[in-house]
Amino acid sequence: MSHVAPEEITEFSFLAGQAAALGVPIPPVERLSLTLADGRTLSALRYGDEPVEVTLLHGAGLNAHTWDTTVLALGRPALAIDLAGHGDSSWRDDADYTGRTLAADVIEALRTWTDRPQVLVGQSLGGLTAAAIAARAPELVRELLVVDITPGVDQSVGPAALREFYRVVDAASRDELVDRAQQFGFGGSRDDTARGVFLNTRVRPDGRVEWKHHFAHIAARLLDAPPAAASIGAPSAILGEHGWADLDAVVAPLSLVRAGHGFVSDDAEQEFRARAPRARVLHLEGSHNLQETAPAALAEIIRTAADSIGPEPVEEPRL
């Protein structure tokens, strides 16, 4: 009697359930890979067949799949990029994951994978990266949405919690990591958290499950290092000391989307308003990872930006 092997779970196996819950169709989706000049690889997900108008950048410790539900709710072609050191993108030997450093990779990717200025959405570390992109390559950015981060964020709350969370970088099972994520309030429902953990971990040869991204290992080392050594590569370096200068240089329409239970304090919001008086500040109910805890509401904000009249597509130079 023959036995049929169970269908293998892949990175796209969860989309059907997510789409059904939203009552929307599943768009075509593919993984892209770009070899960078230094030999590293940058990876991304492209949703839909039409030219991309929305590009999404995740936060520290996440990956492109964190945007799945938001993209399904959005219903538009989109590009979600794995930042260096995350997802399927290569780790950096120098462990430099500041916004300006990450921006250089994304700029190259946008010039390769898109043909028009983007509604650029960046959450947390991705938001500071997005600001650096908009400052350095304004022709690539039609509108900038920064999600629950400012350069003045209270680092004793948000990033410190992330570092404490990543004190544990491996476990006997994915369920253990799901439990830990839920205890720290990261992710949405348990099913959503379990999906995120599956997509953000790998099984080592010894059978233990570990986080795929470099950030977890860096954070764990910082926690165990002496205070003087820990100051090197501490949260301010990870978040980027040039964030305000980058935001000041942004010429595209700019919005801060603040989570009701996120990392941006009232003081940080007021500093953002003072430093970027022409920017909008929008509030959504949810935790720091709004793309997971308030995906439909965030998708509506992105859709409004995408529907606005923007610059004409960038034409390739004729030889």
Residues that are catalytic? 124, 148, 288
* Strands in the chain per DSSP E: 29-35, 41-47, 54-57, 78-82, 118-123, 141-147, 170-171, 201-203, 209-211, 254-261, 280-287
Tell me the HSE value of 236 on the side-chain side, using a 13 A CA sphere: 7
Assess contact for 212 and 87: CB atoms under 8 A.
yes
Assess contact for 84 and 60: CB atoms under 8 A.
no
The whole-angstrom separation of Cα 234 and Cα 308 is: 39
- Both tokens assigned to 128: 């500071």
Assess contact for 113 and 87: CB atoms under 8 A.
no
CA nearest neighbour of 82 among 113, 115, 119, 116: 113
The whole-angstrom separation of Cα 199 and Cα 111 is: 27
Query: Backbone phi, then psi, for 243, in 5-degree steps?
Result: -60, -45
The whole-angstrom separation of Cα 134 and Cα 251 is: 8
Cα 224 to Cα 5, 134, 154, 210: the distances in Å are: 44, 36, 22, 18
Assess contact for 41 and 67: CB atoms under 8 A.
no
Most distant CA atoms of the chain, gap in Å? 72
- Both tokens assigned to 147: 């999600």
